[in-house]
Every structure is written in C-alpha cells, then in structure tokens.
Amino acid sequence: MTEGTGKEKGCIFCQILAGDLPCYRIYEDELSLAILDVNPFSKGHCLVVPKRHVPWWHELSPDENASLFRVAKAVAEKMMIALDPDFVCMYARGRRIPHTHIFLVPT
C-alpha cells in the first residue's frame, strides 16, 4: 500500500485503524481517531491520528487538518475535567512513526 491510499503497509497506526491491532479508543470523528498511548508519559496520555495515512501534518487536507485539531481539542477538554491536570501539553509527531499524530499529555 502507498501513502495517500489511507493505509501504509507496516504502519502501526494504519494497522490500528484497520482493526488489526487493539487500542483503547477515546474519541473519533469521520477523519480522526484519539487513542490511549501504550507507553504513556502520564496518566491519560493520548494520541490523535488522521484516519488516512499521511506522514506530515502539513500534507493533510484542510478537512483532515481541521478534524485532527478539533478532536485534539475535544479530548483535551475531557482530560481537564476527568484528570484535573495543570494543563494538557500538545505536540505534533511523525518522525519515528511516519503517520501524522498529535501527543496530548496531561501535565
């Protein structure tokens, strides 16, 4: 499979999205999914990923970009209520796993 098709062979996030690997789904819409990180930095650490395989966030379509950040905001708001952290740190990733993803880390 190739970039742009929505799935990339060997991509862990594409395998999760296809249902081939387990995950704990926190929130999703038609274009993005938020899951708990399997190696969390803190309790509640989540990853937000686009459902289409896109290595870099600036390569997302405008709708995908809006969805990614809308889902991140919704999850962060829920974290503030459920976990009562000082804040939720957000940063974009994509180098180690070349599928755009946002870290949400309650701090």
Please report, in tens digits, the pLDDT of each residue of the chain (107 residues total).
Answer: 334 445 777 899 999 999 999 999 999 999 999 999 999 999 999 999 999 999 988 999 999 999 999 999 999 999 999 999 999 999 876 678 889 999 999 99
d(CA 96, CA 102): 13
Q: Contact, 13 vs 97, CB < 8 A?
A: yes
In the chain, domain spans: 12-106
Amino acid letter, residue 39: N
pLDDT of residue 94: 61
Say how many residues make up the chain.
Answer: 107
Beta bridge partners of residue 27, listed in sequence order: 34
Catalytic residues: 101
pLDDT at residue 43, rounded to an integer: 96
> What is the CATH class of 12-106?
alpha beta
Using DSSP, state whether 51 is helix, strand or coil: coil
Q: What SS3 class is residue 45?
A: coil
